[in-house]
Amino acid sequence: MENSTPKFIRSSHLKSDMAGVIMLPISKVPVVKTTDTISEIEKNLLKKIENLDTINYIYIVDSEQKLKGVISIKEIFLKSKETVVSEIMDRKLVRVRLRTDQERVALLAVKYNLKAIPVVDKTEKLLGVVSSDIILGILYKEATEDILRLAGVERFNENILDITKQPSRIIILARLPWLLVGLTGGIFAAKILGFFETTLEAQIIFAFFIPVMLYMANAVAIQSQTIFIRSLTLNPELKTTTYFSKEIKIGGFIALVCALLFTLISFFWQTSPFIGVILGLSMFISTTWAVALSIIIPWLLRSFKKDPAIGSGPFSTIANDISTLIIYFSIVSLMTKFFSI
Amino acid sequence: MENSTPKFIRSSHLKSDMAGVIMLPISKVPVVKTTDTISEIEKNLLKKIENLDTINYIYIVDSEQKLKGVISIKEIFLKSKETVVSEIMDRKLVRVRLRTDQERVALLAVKYNLKAIPVVDKTEKLLGVVSSDIILGILYKEATEDILRLAGVERFNENILDITKQPSRIIILARLPWLLVGLTGGIFAAKILGFFETTLEAQIIFAFFIPVMLYMANAVAIQSQTIFIRSLTLNPELKTTTYFSKEIKIGGFIALVCALLFTLISFFWQTSPFIGVILGLSMFISTTWAVALSIIIPWLLRSFKKDPAIGSGPFSTIANDISTLIIYFSIVSLMTKFFSI
Q: What is the DSSP letter of B90?
A: B
Alpha-helical runs (H) found in A23-101: 38-48, 73-78, 85-88
Asked if B310 and B222 sit in the same domain, the reply is yes
Mutation test of the interface with chain A: which of B226, B258, B329, choosing the one with the most A Cβ atoms within 10 A? B226
Contact B38, B85 (CB under 8 A): yes
Neighbours of B47 (CB within 10 A): 10
Q: Give DSSP secondary structure letters for B131-164.
A: EHHHHHHHHHHHHHHHHHHHTT--S--S-HHHHT
How close B280 gets to chain A, by Cα (Å)?
12
Give per-residue pLDDT as tens, A105-120: 888 888 888 889 999 9
pLDDT of residue A8: 52
More confident residue, B160 or A44: A44
Q: Which of A43-57, A141-155, B183-197 has the lowest mean pLDDT?
A: A141-155
CATH at A54: 3.10.580.10
Asked if A73 and A202 sit in the same domain, the reply is no
Does the beta-carbon distance from A110 to B250 stay under 8 Å?
Answer: no
CA of residue A204 relative to chain centroid, distance = 41
Mean pLDDT per 10-residue segment, chain B (341 residues): 48 73 88 92 82 84 94 83 89 90 84 89 94 82 77 63 70 86 90 91 90 93 84 73 86 92 80 83 95 88 75 81 95 85 58
CB contact A209 to B (< 8 Å): yes
How close B244 gets to chain A, by Cα (Å)?
11
CB contact B226 to A (< 8 Å): yes
Does the beta-carbon distance from B189 to A212 stay under 8 Å?
Answer: yes
Asked if A27 and A80 sit in the same domain, the reply is yes
- Which among B73, B189, B208 has CB closest to A194? B208
Q: Nearest-CA residue of chain B relative to A224?
A: B151
Whether B108 is covered by a domain: the verdict is: no
Interatomic CA distance for residues B151 and B148, integer angstroms: 5
Asked if B173 and B302 sit in the same domain, the reply is yes
CB contact B234 to A (< 8 Å): yes
Interatomic CA distance for residues B190 and A214, integer angstroms: 12
How close A302 gets to chain B, by Cα (Å)?
18
pLDDT of residue A146: 75
Asked if B43 and B192 sit in the same domain, the reply is no
Whether B156 is covered by a domain: the verdict is: no
Which residues, at least 6 apart from B207, have a Cβ–Cβ distance to it below 8 Å? A193, A200, A204, A207, A210, B200
> Dihedral of the CA atoms A329, A331, A333, A338 (nearest 10)?
-170
A12 falls in which pLDDT band (50, 70, 90)? Answer: low
pLDDT of residue B66: 95
pLDDT of residue B2: 41
A3 falls in which pLDDT band (50, 70, 90)? Answer: very low
Whether B318 is covered by a domain: the verdict is: yes
How close B25 gets to chain A, by Cα (Å)?
18
Domain end call among A86, A115, A131: A131
pLDDT of residue B47: 81
Whether B137 is covered by a domain: the verdict is: no
pLDDT of residue A242: 81
Question: What phi and psi values does residue A154 have, to the nearest 5 degrees?
Answer: -110, 170
Whether A150 is covered by a domain: the verdict is: no
Asked if A101 and A250 sit in the same domain, the reply is no
How confident is the model over A30-39, as a mean pLDDT? Answer: 92
A311 falls in which pLDDT band (50, 70, 90)? Answer: low
CA neighbor of B293 nearest in space, from B208, B217, B192: B217
Interatomic CA distance for residues A270 and A105, integer angstroms: 56
Task: Collect all residues of chain B within an 8 Å Cβ-Cβ radius of residue A200.
Answer: 204, 207
Asked if B247 and B332 sit in the same domain, the reply is yes
Task: Collect all residues of chain B within an 8 Å Cβ-Cβ radius of residue A72.
Answer: none
Coil, helix or strand at residue B32:
strand
Q: Is the pLDDT of residue A67 over 90?
A: yes
User: How many contacts (CB atoms, under 8 Å) link A and B?
Assistant: 301
Whether A238 is covered by a domain: the verdict is: yes
Asked if A179 and A309 sit in the same domain, the reply is yes
Neighbours of B239 (CB within 10 A): 9
Asked if B182 and B95 sit in the same domain, the reply is no
pLDDT of residue A50: 77
Most confident of A82-86, A307-311, B72-76: A82-86
Whether B138 is covered by a domain: the verdict is: no
- Helix B210-234 and helix A314-338, axial crossing angle in degrees, nearest 10: 150
- Which among A139, A227, A231 has CB closest to B136? A139
Q: Give DSSP secondary structure letters for B208-236.
A: HTHHHHHHHHHHHHHHHHHHHHHHHHH-T
Q: Is the pLDDT of residue A57 over 70?
A: yes
Report strand pairing: A126-131 vs B31-33.
Answer: unpaired
Asked if A182 and A306 sit in the same domain, the reply is yes
Give per-residue pLDDT as tens, A196-211: 999 888 889 999 999 9
- Please state, for a pLDDT cut of 90, what percent of chain A lies above it: 33
Q: Which of A164-173, A323-332, B101-110 has the lowest mean pLDDT?
A: A164-173
Asked if B68 and B209 sit in the same domain, the reply is no
Asked if A125 and A26 sit in the same domain, the reply is yes
Whether B329 is covered by a domain: the verdict is: yes
pLDDT of residue A46: 78
Task: Collect all residues of chain B within an 8 Å Cβ-Cβ radius of residue A321.
Answer: 211, 215
CB contact A200 to B (< 8 Å): yes
Alpha-helical runs (H) found in chain B: 7-10, 19-22, 38-48, 73-78, 85-88, 102-112, 132-150, 160-163, 168-195, 197-202, 205-208, 210-234, 240-269, 273-303, 314-338
Chain B window 9-68: which residues touch A at a Cβ cutoff of 8 Å? 45-46, 49-50, 52, 54-56
Contact A325, A210 (CB under 8 A): yes
- Which among A133, A150, A213 has CB closest to B150? A150
ipTM of the complex: 0.79
Domain that holds residue A112: 7-131
Q: Nearest-CA residue of chain B relative to A192?
A: B208
CATH at A235: 1.10.357.20
**Domain total for chain A?**
2
CA of residue A116 relative to chain centroid, distance = 22
How confident is the model over A90-100, as a mean pLDDT? Answer: 90
